[in-house]
Amino acid sequence: DTVLATQKAVKTYVGTATTAVKAAGQIYLSAAGMWPSTTAGMTHGKAETATNKQNYYKLDADDTGGKVYAEGTLVMPSDWNAGTLTASFYWTSSSASTAGVVWGLQGRSYSDNDSIDQAFGTAVEVTDAGLGTTGKVHVSSATAAITLAGTPAAGGLLALRCYRDSGNGSDTLAATASLLGVMVTFTRT
C-alpha cells in the first residue's frame, strides 16, 4: 500500500510539473519580410559580402538623433497563449565600434472586423553593444515583456513596429546599424 501510494504521488507530481512548464515558441521576422515606415522609416536594401558573396536583406537605421522605424506583420500560431511577447534584434554594422544601439518593438493585435487605423501598444527597448569588428552578426538580449494593443488571440494578425532610437542617451553608435531581423518569443498554451 505504501509503495502504491508513493507511485501515485510521483505520477501526480510529474503530471503537475509537466503541465506547469510551457514551452516557448519563436518566430523570426526577417528584414526581407519587413518594410520601412512611411514616416521616419529605415532604408530597405540588400548587401553582398566581399569574399564569399553572401547576400542579405537589411533595414538601415541611421544615426539621425531620433527614432527610425520598420514594420511587419505575422499571424500567431494556434497554440499561442495570447500573452506578452519578447524580442531579440539581429543586426550588423560597418562600424568597428563597441558603442551601444537602442532597439525597440511595439505591436497591435487584430481580429476580424477590426479597424486597421489603431494605436500600437507601449514600446519596450533593449540596448546592445557593438562587437568592435565590422561585418559581424549582433544578437541583442531579449526585451522585457511587450504588451500588445488590441485583443490578442491565438491565430490573430499582429502588426509589429520596430525602431532604432539614436536619440536615446544609451544609443552611442555614431554610425548606421543595419537590422537583419527580429526574433519574437511567445508562450504556448
What type of residue is 68?
V
Give φ, ψ of 85 to 5 degrees. Answer: -120, 165
Give CA separation, 30 vs 59, 164, 166, 169, 183, in Å.
10, 16, 22, 27, 8
Answer whether 0.85 is exceeded by the pTM: yes
Q: Cell 494605436 maps to which residue?
A: 119
Q: Please, which pLDDT band fits residue 10 given cuts at 50, 70 and 90? A: very low
Average pLDDT for 86-98: 96
Q: Please, which pLDDT band fits residue 23 given cuts at 50, 70 and 90? A: confident
Q: Do 61 and 182 contact (CB within 8 A), yes or no?
A: no
Q: What pLDDT shows up at residue 20?
A: 56
Closest of 9, 20, 5 to residue 187, by C-alpha: 20
Specify the DSSP class assigned to residue 82.
Answer: S
